[in-house]
Amino acid sequence: MPQFGKRLSPRQISLSAAAILAVCIWLLAVALGRNWQIALLILTVSFILAYFIFYYFLKKFIDQRLKLIYKFIYDTKAGRKEQFFYNKILPKKTMDEVEREVALWAQKKNLQVERLQVNEKFRKEFLSNLTHELRTPIFTVQGYVHTLLDGAIDDENVNRKFLSNASKGLDRLVHLASDLAQITELESGTNPLVLTNFDLHHLVNDVYEELMLKAREKQISMKFKNDDKEAIMVHADRDKIRQAIVNIVENAIKYGNEGGSITTGFWDLDTDKTYIEISDDGPGIEEQHLERIFERFYRTDKSRSSKIGGTGLGLAIVKHIIEAHHQIINVRSKVDVGSSFGFSLNKQPN
C-alpha cells in the first residue's frame, strides 16, 4: 500500500490521480461495450494524458505557492536575482528542503522576537531606573529652593545649610548626567578608542593623587603591592582606562572602612597581556550581588539604603570601557574581608 500522506511527491500524486481517472474511463469504456483492445488503448492514453496534465498543473500551483513563501521568508526584492532564483534554483528544491528552510526561518524569527523582547525589557528597566534616579535630586533641589524663596533665605540659621543641600542635589544631577553621557557614548561607539602606549603604574599613581583628599577624609591609605617603581607599559586608551581606575578606586574609598587600605598589583597574564587588580579591605560584596554588580543602576541593598551610594553607573562604565578594549574584567569579594576588581590590558607591542 503506498502511503498517502503529506510526504507524497507531486509526481506520485499525479500518478495516483491519473491511474484512478484512467481506471474510471476504462470501466466506462467496458460498460459501454467496447472491445478489450480499444478499452486498453483508452486506458493507456487517458492515463498518460491525465498524468502529464495533472503533473503540469500541480507543479505550477506548488511553484506559485512556494514563490509566495520564499518572498516572505527571504524578503526578496523583484529583480534579476529573484528571477534567477525562481527559474533555476527553486525548481530543484525538494519539498523536504523547503520545509527545512521554512523551519530554520521560523527559528530565526523566534530568536529575533526574543531579542526584541529582551531589549524592550532592558529599555523599560532603564527608563524606570533613570526616572527614579532623576526624581530624588530634582525634588530635593526644588524643595530647598522653594523653602528659601518662601522666606527661609532671611533666616541666618538655615539659609546656608539649605543652599548647600540644594547644591548637593545639583551636583548629583550633574554626576548622573555625565555618567549617562559616558555610557551612551561608549554604547554607541561614537567615540572610538585612542590607543597609545603608556605606563599603567604611573597612571594609577596619578589617580591615587587625584583622590588623595577623599581618601584622607577616611584615613584610607593607597599603595602598590610591589614597592618597585617598575613601569608597566600597556597599549590602550589612556583617558578611558584612567576613568575605569578612578571609578574602581572611588568605590574602594566610598565603601571602604575608616582607616582601611587600597592596594594595586600588576601581573603578567601571558606574553602579551597584563592584569591589574585593585583591592580594598572594605565590607565586601555578598555573593548574590556579585554577578549583577556591573549592570547599569545596580547597587547592593546596603548602598541603596545608605547615603554614600551613587547612581550605580560607575561599574557599568568600567565594564563598557574594558569590553571596548576586548579585555576581561573580574571581581572577587568576600563579606568583611574586602573586594578586588581586576582587568587585563594588552602590553605595549615590542
Q: Which residues between 247 and 276 bind ligand ATP (CB under 6 A)?
A: 247, 251-252, 255
Least separation, in Å, of the C-beta of 144 and Mg ion? Answer: 25
Cα separation of 299 and 133, whole Å? 12
Task: Tell me: does residue 299 bind ligand ATP (CB under 6 A).
Answer: yes
Residue 274, binding choice from ligand ATP, Mg ion, none, Cβ under 5 to 8 Å by partner class? none
Using CB positions, name the residue nearest to Mg ion: 314
> Considering the complex, what minimum distance in angstroms separates the CB of residue 277 from Mg ion?
17
280, 320, 325, 344: which one binds ligand ATP (CB under 6 A): 280
Residue nearest to ligand ATP (CB): 310
The whole-angstrom separation of Cα 181 and Cα 187 is 10
Cβ of residue 137: shortest distance to ligand ATP, in angstroms? 12
Q: Is 200 or 316 the residue whose CB approaches ligand ATP more closely?
A: 316
Cα–Cα separations (whole angstroms), residue 110 to 10, 105, 115, 240: 31, 9, 9, 38
Of the candidates 14, 46, 182, 339, which one interacts with ligand ATP according to CB under 6 A? 339
Shortest distance (Å) from residue 299 CB to Mg ion: 9
Q: Using CB under 5 A, which of 256, 283, 314, 342 touches Mg ion?
A: 314
Q: Does 300 bind Mg ion (CB under 5 A)?
A: no
| 33: DSSP letter | T
320 in Cβ contact with 183 (< 8 Å): yes
Task: Sort 158 into a burial class: Cβ within 10 Å, 0-12 / 13-18 / 19+.
Answer: middle
Beta bridge partners of 196: 236
257 Rama sector, left if φ>0, alpha if ψ -120 to 50, beta otherwise:
beta
**Which of 250, 246, 277 shows the shortest CA–CA distance to 345?**
277
Q: Which residue has the cell 582606562?
A: 241
End-to-end CA distance of the chain: 76
Judge contact between 232 and 303, C-beta under 8 A.
no
Smaller CB separation from Mg ion, 199 or 250: 250
Nearer to Mg ion among residue 234 and residue 283 (C-beta): 283
Spatial separation of the C-alpha atoms in residues 219 and 254, rounded to whole Å: 12
Residue 260 or residue 348: which is nearer to ligand ATP going by CB?
A: 260
* 137 near ligand ATP, judged by CB under 6 A: no
Q: Count CA atoms closer than 13 A to 90's CA, side-chain side.
A: 20
Q: Which of residues 142-201 bind ligand ATP (CB under 6 A)?
A: 179
Binding characters for ligand ATP, 311-330, by CB under 6 A (x = yes):
xxxxxx--------------
Interface positions with ligand ATP (CB under 6 A): 179, 247, 251-252, 255, 280, 282-283, 285, 293, 298-300, 303, 309-316, 339
